[in-house]
Amino acid sequence: MSLGSDPLDALEIPDGTTVEERALVTDGDVVVGGQSTVEFGVRGRNVVAGERVQFGGDIEAEGDCRLDVWCDVAGNVLVGQDAYLGERVHIGGRLMVSGDLDIGDDVDIEEGFEASGWIVIRNPVPTLVFYFIVLSQLLRLGENETADELAESLSGDGDVDPLVIPRGSTVSDDAWQASTPAVVGDNCRLHGNIRAESITVGEDDNIFGSLRARGDISVGSGTRVHGDVTTRDGTVTIASGARVLGDVSCAELELHEDAAVDGTMRAKGDMRIVRADVSRDAE
């Protein structure tokens, strides 16, 4: 997990993330900031959500699942290890926990629950809030190394990046919308328009939607964008082998000669073509 002034300062979609049959699937952890809406179900290693997060489908966690107060899950919650539910969490389906269950007051599980380990009824500490209070204090004190170690221990295996959805974001078939920068890894397959402060898309991705940002937008090699690429004030960079199946509108455009744009290209300022031989000389 990348640490800056705020551990949830970007929409981060790790390598290999896909949307499959109304479920958002990733190999690593899923971390969702408070008051966000995820209209998909989610499948990942550990699933951690802040207060008042809404999920539109099932949650499947190979490890732990931690849902803070007032979270709402439309479907089932299946947990491979331990589950922690804050007060007034609502689950529209069934809760199945292979480990221990720590549960708060007024939790509503419509189709019942089953836990193989201990069941403790109380109000657990809001997990996501507690984690990031500790991280924020360490960063404020300049203990960056300690903060990095804590973040790595919380996210499990350090070789798999978590999927991070910042506070107040919306993720759906229609749009991935965040007020922060957005970073998409390699080999992802996503449905929906991406709306963010700035957007960096990795290599060999398939984005079934448009990209729109206030700042810069970068489209990596081999990536295909099934929509427009638009920025108000930033630069659009389209790498070798990338293809945009729509229009491009920006302040400045940097287009590799091996990239393709099916629609109209508009730039208020400079429009530069990057040649393959120049790229090799630069390396």
Q: What is the pLDDT of residue 6?
A: 47
Tokens of 100: 């221990």
Q: What is the pLDDT of residue 4?
A: 38
194 DSSP β-pair partners = 176, 211
Query: Quick one: how far is CA 178 from the chain centroid?
Result: 10
Q: What is the pLDDT of residue 118?
A: 87
What three-state secondary structure class fits 281?
helix
The pTM of this model reads 0.84
- C-alpha separations of 213 from 105, 123, 251 in Å: 41, 40, 12
Beta-strand relationship, 175-177 and 170-171:
antiparallel
In order along its 283 residues, the chain shows pLDDT tens digits of: 433 344 578 999 999 999 987 899 999 999 999 999 999 999 999 999 989 999 999 999 999 999 999 999 999 999 999 999 999 999 999 999 999 999 988 999 999 999 998 888 765 555 555 565 566 666 667 777 766 665 665 554 456 789 999 999 999 989 999 999 999 999 999 999 999 999 999 999 999 999 999 999 999 999 999 999 999 899 999 999 999 999 999 999 999 999 999 999 999 999 999 988 754 445 4
